Structure 1
Amino acid sequence: MPLIDPSVVDLSRLQFALTALYHFLFVPLTLGMTFLLCAMETTYVITGKEIYKEMTHFWGKLFGINFAIGVATGLTMEFEFGTNWSMYSHFVGDVFGTPLAIEGLMAFFMESTFIGLMFFGWDRLSRPGHLAVTYLTALGSNLSALWILVANGFMQNPQGASFDADTMRMQFNSFVSLVFSEDAQAKFVHTSIAGFVTGALFVMGISAFYILRKQHMALAARSFRVAALFGIISSLAVVTLGDALGRLDYLVQPTKIAAIEGLWEDSNAHGSATSAPWLLFALPNDATQTNAAEIGVPYVLTPLITHSMDTPIPGLLSLEQQAGPRILNGIKAINALQQYGVTHDAASLATFKQYENDMGYGFLAQKNAPNQDLTQITPANQDAIVAQTEKDTIPNVFVTFWAFRIMMFLGFYFVALFAFAAYYSLRNELEKHPLLLKAALWSIPLPILACEFGWITAEAGRQPWSVYGWLPTFQAASSHPVGYMVFSLIGFAALYSAFIAAELYLMFKFARLGPQDHHAEPTVGGGATMFGKPQLADKSWQ
């Protein structure tokens, strides 16, 4: 398999990372807002209070803006697999394409259909009927996330497929194994609940703005309370499920969990299985494979990761060494596969089958082989090539370590913020705590930031693999001219930046107008604010 120009691979990775990060600015808010709308409309149907209908209308409008732009940013991503990652698409297209096709045919069309009924069916459907439509919209949005994360779960922990030496690609053989992969299911729940946190803080933050400006108090106070209660439950759940994902990574992606924890040596390297500290701060150096300025909590890492007191956690240095035999086996597998492609003899196929599970490590060694030809590896150069390839099995530790830390610190901040918000909201004391309201307001972007860093942790920690253990990223890309990649990268960055500008403009505009869209009221006190000028105080909530 000829290697792609490294510059093209880097530009392909950068383009996909940018489009995915741009798109993921909108996804968590969509996931979270749908169920908040369900909660508000359920209260309206049960109690008959018009204020909850007004709340559903208003927050639904902001949800609709985010949903529309999120769809626009997501449409191009599936096409990128065919344009920029053609080798990846050839290798795993039968498997990876299945959940994406289901997402498009079932979940996407489902949510697109019911969102129209949700917006335009208020006067055409009964209260229970419209509530059912709102729940179906929420279900469709979260099913969409499910199928995308099933596809991503295969990249993280390949299940439900096997390699076919005759077609040179992965063949789909178990829908159940693919869908019920532990990685896919855990990431789906974790990502969805992270979206709930995002939606809750979005509603709570804008409600806090209204309370600070004493506008729309009836809607703001109730919205704040619903969001705070929804948020405290969601933030506790997302932290708990993050721990479950860490345990899963320890079992199936040990290099990722070691990079996340900045663990170069085994946790029992100094005589005790619990001697490794849980690092709160460190400066990992990938070149020297050491950490600087470590600040950690002693004896916490082992029970945190392994859920036991004495199970050792392998460090990155020993994981490199463990990769050595797999690299040698992988070289044998690739050479046998190439021979089988020419002769189709049983002996070559038998040799390949013997080392098949290490095939990906042979691909990984190809870029270090003389002339990128594995057949030119000899006893004289083998040790040097294997040693270099061992280092290539390790992800970027600095990026993975700090992406996880930022996500984690923000997660605990959300728990504290929602806890105080729920407490003072239930006591009807929000106006006595303007600092809390301001913290909620200015924290609106933080859950989205946490979601972005969570995605970076998952994807950077999977490197150097596009399909873990099977296909290296540098062999998954398409062969394009560098100029083409630069042009498309600039074009996508400009287009997606325009989408973000449109999102911010519309969100600020309609948040400033509030639930009474075009009803201009006199202003009182205060100057310019985050969303604009304050309106006349509304005391009807008291």
Structure 2
Amino acid sequence: MTLDVVDLSRLQFAMTALYHFLFVPLTLGLSVLLAIMETVYVMTGRRIWRQMTKFWGTLFGINFVLGVATGLVMEFQFGMNWSYYSHYVGDIFGAPLAIEGLMAFFLEATFVGLFFFGWDKLSRVGHLVATWAVALGSNFSALWILVANGWMQNPVGSAFNAQTMRMEVTDFFAVITNPVAQAKFVHTVSAGYVTASVFVLGVSAWYVLKGRHIEIAKRSMTVAASFGLAASLSVVVLGDESGYLTTEHQKMKLAAMESMWETEPAPAAFTVIGFPNQAERETHFAVRIPWVLGLIATRSLDTVVPGITELVGHAKTRIESGIIAFDALQKIRAAGSDAAIAPDVRQAFEEHGTDLGYALLLKRYVDDPRTATPEQIEKAAWDTVPNVPTLFWAFRLMVGLGFAFIALMSVFFFLSARRMLDRYRPLLWIAVLAIPLPWVAAELGWVVAEFGRQPWIIEGVLPTAAGVSSLGAATVLTTIVGFALLYTVLILIEMMLMIRAIRKGPEPDEDPDAELIPAHLVAAE
């Protein structure tokens, strides 16, 4: 198979994004866990909580540095590999990224330094404030990134300017309060909390199995199980909200996730398992639960969930409308000034302009969408269907892992409440083996969100194929190989540093304020 520059550019961005997202969830979750542990230390004065905070902080620092390094590359790619996309939506997309860099990143990076080097220079409360600022900075960073990404999924607060050929902001408040962006933010952050909780739980379980640092390990497991249980439950609840918004704003993505080829009477059934065949446009050996999809997706018994075939029909209608908008746009550009634009041309663009992006889907088959044949329009309409088997299985594996995390955290929460964390070695081994699973779930979530949006780089506005730079395929392929090698080295370095730090374990703590700890607290410890 010959890959063109569009496929290669997508592959490169997917690769760098997936690599980067290996670091993000742990940074989000560990930052909050560190703040919780240090809060206990400041409130109780028990030195073991300071020791815990410093140990897990070392692992956080390793992950944070490599996360920053991989994240910078992604932002540069917008200008290098996706130059027309950057030109088309730079006024909107660039603003959240700039705020993220100026506000969240610098806030986070500044207080990270205070966290590592301020233990003996700041008061206990002052250092605690710095730790919480790190956590807030990490989450603010995720917020602005997801505001930008959420706008790509649901482009609100903006309008197309026919004179400049660019999307422009009409309501920045609508951009930052975009319901899709807000749902993605809380869902992504909660997933990061689960990732960190499973990581802390698994590493601590390994210490218990090895008979090392038992007191620190048990306390860490208690914090991780409590925080992780709340986070894993919230992931399911917030994921449901995300699915509901998908029903409103990305109907094709939902239909593809459920492999729902035909529209069913409300409420629709949920396909638990099956084998979608995109070529035959049907799902083989489907096991279905009546009503469940309708209840989850619409929260009602009488709202219809449209199937893929019906949505393709809607796309065909919008492509035909988009051709009218494209024709009007060419006449507007040829006119040269607002005064020279004929009223009927202006009216045609106003009525059909929101479908302009659908006409651009025809660029895959013909240079001028106005000359497209009915067969080409039909093909372009079916191009709006993403890869159904990939979405179907990615979604189910992600959800299955989400419920597995709830079960894992529930068991260890119960054991911690009963003070029985070290009694069942098989359960401890399960916790250790579960360490990589949150990253698998997070990457699957990214696939569902981004792969399910295809063929759009901006939903309904700009096709992915129209957003690439004018680069040669060989150039992009060369950078893919270079990034793959570099990122593999970085992953290996992080794993080596993490494993070395975990094997070494927490450092003995010498608290200069040890004599200030009340005697009754020392006795209680």
| TM-score of the superposed pair, with normalisation by structure 2 | 0.94
**Match runs of 1:202-281 below 5 Å:** 202-268=199-265, 273-274=266-267, 276-281=268-273
Which of 9, 28, 36 is equivalent to 2:6?
A: 9
Q: Provide runs of 4+ in structure 1 moved above 4 Å.
A: none
Q: Which amino acid aligns with 1:254?
A: K
CA contact (8 A) 1:210 1:216 kept: yes
**Match runs of 1:467-486 below 5 Å:** 467-486=458-477
Which of 19, 34, 54 is equivalent to 2:51?
A: 54
For structure 2, list consecutive stretches of 5 or more residues without a partner in the other structure.
510-522
1:330-355 Cα distance to aligned partner (Å, 9 max, x none): 01111211222122332233322221
1: CA distance, partners of 2:179 / 2:508: 46
In structure 2, relative to structure 1, the CA distance for the partners of 1:68 and 1:179 (3 Å cut) is same
Q: Which amino acid aligns with 1:419?
A: S
2: CA distance, partners of 1:62 / 1:323: 49
2: CA distance, partners of 1:281 / 1:142: 35
Secondary structure of 2:159's partner? strand
Which of 351, 363, 370 is equivalent to 1:375?
A: 370
Where does residue 137 of structure 1 map in the other structure?
134
1:52-88 Cα distance to aligned partner (Å, 9 max, x none): 0000000000000000011111111100000000110
Matched, 1:326 2:325: no
**Match runs of 1:440-479 below 5 Å:** 440-479=431-470
1:356-407 Cα distance to aligned partner (Å, 9 max, x none): 01011011122223xx222323xxx3x2122111101111111111111111
Secondary structure of 2:288's partner? strand
1: CA distance, partners of 2:72 / 2:508: 31
Where does residue 535 of structure 1 map in the other structure?
none
Matched, 1:357 2:357: no
In structure 2, relative to structure 1, the CA distance for the partners of 1:6 and 1:165 (3 Å cut) is farther
Which has the larger displacement, 252-261 or 350-359?
350-359
Q: CA deviation at 1:6?
A: 6.6
2: CA distance, partners of 1:171 / 1:221: 54
Q: CA deviation at 1:296?
A: 2.5
CA contact (8 A) 1:283 1:398 kept: yes
Q: CA deviation at 1:173?
A: 2.0
2: CA distance, partners of 1:363 / 1:281: 35
1:176-216 Cα distance to aligned partner (Å, 9 max, x none): 00100001111001100100000111100000000111110
For structure 1, list consecutive stretches of 5 or more residues without a partner in the other structure.
519-539
Q: CA deviation at 1:440?
A: 0.8
CA contact (8 A) 1:190 1:238 kept: yes
Where does residue 425 of structure 1 map in the other structure?
416
2: CA distance, partners of 1:467 / 1:153: 10
CA contact (8 A) 2:51 2:508 kept: no
Q: Which amino acid aligns with 2:316?
A: G
Q: Which amino acid aligns with 1:266?
A: T
In structure 2, relative to structure 1, the CA distance for the partners of 1:367 and 1:6 (3 Å cut) is farther
Matched, 1:307 2:299: yes
1:478-532 Cα distance to aligned partner (Å, 9 max, x none): 11111101100000011111110011000100001110389xxxxxxxxxxxxxx
| TM-score of the superposed pair, with normalisation by structure 1 | 0.91
CA contact (8 A) 1:219 1:541 kept: no
* Identical counterparts, % of pairs: 50
2: CA distance, partners of 1:425 / 1:11: 49
CA contact (8 A) 2:322 2:355 kept: yes
In structure 2, relative to structure 1, the CA distance for the partners of 1:405 and 1:541 (3 Å cut) is farther
Where does residue 335 of structure 1 map in the other structure?
327
Q: Which amino acid aligns with 1:21?
A: L
CA contact (8 A) 2:246 2:253 kept: yes
Where does residue 436 of structure 1 map in the other structure?
427
CA contact (8 A) 1:403 1:457 kept: yes
Q: Which amino acid aligns with 2:331?
A: Q
CA contact (8 A) 1:235 1:414 kept: yes
CA contact (8 A) 1:403 1:454 kept: yes
Secondary structure of 1:462's partner? coil
Where does residue 317 of structure 1 map in the other structure?
309
In structure 2, relative to structure 1, the CA distance for the partners of 1:24 and 1:517 (3 Å cut) is farther
2: CA distance, partners of 1:161 / 1:108: 26
2: CA distance, partners of 1:189 / 1:157: 17
2: CA distance, partners of 1:102 / 1:217: 43
Where does residue 512 of structure 2 map in the other structure?
none
Which has the larger displacement, 334-343 or 410-419?
334-343
Q: Which amino acid aligns with 2:298?
A: T
Secondary structure of 1:354's partner? helix
Secondary structure of 1:166's partner? coil
CA contact (8 A) 1:334 1:359 kept: yes
1: CA distance, partners of 2:524 / 2:302: 57
Where does residue 186 of structure 1 map in the other structure?
183
Q: CA deviation at 1:430?
A: 1.8
CA contact (8 A) 2:51 2:507 kept: no
2: CA distance, partners of 1:516 / 1:53: 11
Q: Which amino acid aligns with 1:506?
A: L
Number of residues of Structure 1 aligned to a counterpart in Structure 2:
506
CA contact (8 A) 1:267 1:302 kept: no
Q: CA deviation at 1:279?
A: 1.6
Which of 76, 81, 87 is equivalent to 1:79?
A: 76
Matched, 1:36 2:27: no
